Amino acid sequence: MAHDEHEERRAWFRREILPLEGYLRAYARRFCRRGEAEVEDLVHETFARAIAYEGWRGVETPQAFVTRILKNIALDSQRRARIAAFSSVADVDQFGLADDRPGPELEVLSRDELRRLREVVAGLPIQVRRVFTLRKVYGLGHREIADRLGLSVSTVEKHLAKGLRICSDALAREPSTSVVSWASRRQRDAKR
């Protein structure tokens, strides 16, 4: 670049761009959350890009020009920060953190417990089984079950209590299985 052109560019920068510093600082604060140092960096980067712009002679509205530069820099910075944060989350696997899913042994045990529970429920007296299934599987309330089966609410409650007692007793008699939720097992194992 010729010396005269360099001097013209510097004069243009001092005359048109540098007086906008206060405006740029105020505008930069809209994008900055970490304080004045971030504002300072954003304004200086804007100045650097403005003075390096090859088409500086064609800039008709300097304020709009530097505003656009600053906004683009700020948005790029935010985008990079989000990508870095996402990359950090994506790289979690490399640390070998514990897997939250149940292991194969626990899956087999849970499947066995579910099979055993199905067998116990199938062996309940028919009316007790109906009440138990409507409550525990379909989530109906006592009143809904009573209306559906033509029973009193008190009878529904008694059948439900009887079904729960039979299931609990039957599952407790089997030493190899106990009805313990996967989450509570995980908590217990984590304490070890």
Check residue 19 and give its pLDDT: 93
On whether the CB atoms of residues 134 and 148 are closer than 8 A, the answer is: yes
CA distances from 21 to 4, 15, 43, 130 (A): 25, 12, 7, 78
Check residue 77 and give its pLDDT: 83
Burial class, 129, CB count within 10 angstroms (exposed 0-12 / middle 13-18 / buried 19+):
middle
On whether the CB atoms of residues 182 and 110 are closer than 8 A, the answer is: yes
Tokens of 61: 């509205």
The pTM of the whole model exceeds 0.85: no
pLDDT digit string (tens) for 81-124? 777 555 555 555 555 555 556 667 767 777 788 888 888 889 99
Tokens of 135: 């409550």
CATH number assigned to the domain covering 104-191: 1.10.10.10
On whether the CB atoms of residues 20 and 43 are closer than 8 A, the answer is: no
pLDDT digit string (tens) for 43-87? 999 999 999 998 999 999 999 999 999 999 988 888 887 775 555
Check residue 177 and give its pLDDT: 42
For range 143-152, the mean pLDDT = 93
CATH number assigned to the domain covering 3-95: 1.10.1740
The Cα–Cα gap between 55 and 64 comes to: 15
pLDDT band of 167, cuts 50, 70, 90: confident
Sequence spans of domains, the chain: 3-95, 104-191
Which has the higher per-residue pLDDT, 181 or 131? 131
